[in-house]
Amino acid sequence: MKQNLSIKPQGSVQDYAEMRLNPNTGDCAMLDQGMCSIQLELGESYLSQTCRTYPRVINQAGNALEMTAQLSCPEVARLVLLDEQAMELVDVDLAHIGSVTYKHKAAAALDPNRPEFYFPEIRKMMIEIMKYREFSLPHRLILLGVFCDNVNLLMDEKKYKELPHLCVQFREEVARNDELRSYNVYPLDAIFQLQYLNNYLMDILDDTIWNARYRECIHDYKQGMTRNGSSLEAIAGTYNYSYEHYYKPFMDQHAHVLENFILNHLYSRMLAEMHVNIPVFDSYQMLVAEFAMIKLHLIGIAAHHQQLSEELTVKLIQSYTKNYEHTALFLKNILDDFKKQGYHTLGYMSLLIKND
């Protein structure tokens, strides 16, 4: 046991060590033929709070508890991504869950002069925008960016009490503003999208890939993207063809898959990120980065298999999430690169989101 523990010098009684992971598979060192040897030999009561809680994500804001789930769990990924009603919130009694690890805890926000007072309303509006199903999912994601950009402006100017009015105003604008409602208004550059995302992915793979299922997905992605040649022109042709003939038809029929992915992200992360002072538009950019990276992978995988299916989509999202979710710097590094390259604007986010 001891050789598999990494002690945290600044740890606490509840959080004093980490389990070392197998560098080849990413599995916990205590797994024996896929089963937890601690639970098998000693029982559930000896599990760490992290293991006892997984795959649940439990956040606390004041007296309210919210429970979502991590898509790195294969069964959770299947249930969340494939069920059209999976992301409808339901009230449940959490008294039975016992001792758990909270992903985020925040005291109740009671002062209307503080930004925290408005965080739940901001997130509620973000979720509402992602459910405007009269618009395509990419269009909704761009609308979300417009809203987040406006939230950032008010937050920077400390005009917190204007945030509720912004929500009302934005709702009205989406209903009647022709520019917001027109998808063609937002910029498109599929070659930029392909080059930036693919180059970034290839640059980090050697240092970040460890999950076996994700490695299979990357193999399929590379095979698919280069099936007609490895020049930029050939890869771009394959990328566009796979999008039009495999990715888009599948997503037109299964829009709930990536909608559920985005909603799960908003439910599980957004309040926590606001409470630790991550700007709302920064959080939005990290969400776009995940959406765009998953889209990139799926287009390449579809090119390899000459189809896209529920099975391939769930496998990619589950393994991608498992490979990167424990790497805290993964999304931060993408955000830092956006800023370094001058891409941290709504216009560039549109270039990563749009393919047609």
Burial 4-30, CB ≥16 within 10 A → b, else e = eeeeeeeeeeeeeeebebeeeebeeeb
pLDDT interval class at 68 (50, 70, 90): confident
Q: Give the closest residue to 259 by CA, choosing from 148, 150, 132.
A: 132
The pLDDT value given to residue 339: 97
Judge if 213 and 321 occupy the same domain: yes
Q: Three-state SS for 200? A: helix
168 part of a folded domain: yes
Q: How far apart are CA 83 and CA 90, in angstroms?
A: 15
Judge if 205 and 316 occupy the same domain: yes
Full domain range(s) for residue 153: 115-183
Mean pLDDT of 121-143: 97
131 part of a folded domain: yes
Judge if 327 and 301 occupy the same domain: yes
The total domain count for the chain is: 3
Judge if 126 and 65 occupy the same domain: no
Judge if 295 and 244 occupy the same domain: yes
Is 93 a residue whose pLDDT tops 70?
no
Judge if 91 and 213 occupy the same domain: no
283 part of a folded domain: no
Is 154 a residue whose pLDDT tops 90?
yes
284 part of a folded domain: no
pLDDT digits (tens, 9 = 90+) for 98-115: 666 666 777 778 899 999
Q: Which residues pair with 65 in a beta bridge?
A: 60
Judge if 128 and 195 occupy the same domain: no
Q: How far apart are CA 63 and CA 59, in angstroms?
A: 11
The pLDDT value given to residue 350: 99
The pLDDT value given to residue 174: 98
Is 54 a residue whose pLDDT tops 80?
no
The pLDDT value given to residue 327: 64
Judge if 176 and 205 occupy the same domain: no
> What average pLDDT does the structure give for the chain?
89
pLDDT digits (tens, 9 = 90+) for 246-264: 999 999 999 999 999 999 9
Is 305 a residue whose pLDDT tops 90?
yes
Q: Give the closest residue to 194 by CA, choosing from 300, 287, 320, 307.
A: 300
Mean pLDDT of 124-135: 97
Domain boundary among 61, 76, 106: 106
The pLDDT value given to residue 353: 99
Is 159 a residue whose pLDDT tops 90?
yes
Mean pLDDT of 136-148: 98
DSSP state of 246: I
Q: How far apart are CA 14 and CA 52, in angstroms?
A: 13
Point out the least confidently predicted range of 57-61, 128-132, 143-147, 216-220.
57-61
Burial status of residue 218 (CB atoms within 10 A of its CB: 0-12, 13-18, 19 or more): buried
Domain boundary among 45, 75, 106: 106
Mean pLDDT of 43-63: 72
Judge if 15 and 143 occupy the same domain: no
Judge if 328 and 218 occupy the same domain: yes
Instruction: Note whether 341 and 335 are within 8 A (CB).
Output: no
Judge if 55 and 197 occupy the same domain: no
Judge if 62 and 125 occupy the same domain: no
The pLDDT value given to residue 249: 98
Is 59 a residue whose pLDDT tops 90?
no
The whole-model pTM stands at 0.89
20 part of a folded domain: yes
Radius of gyration of the chain (CA): 21
Phi and psi at 43, nearest 5°, equal 100, 165
Domain boundary among 132, 166, 183: 183
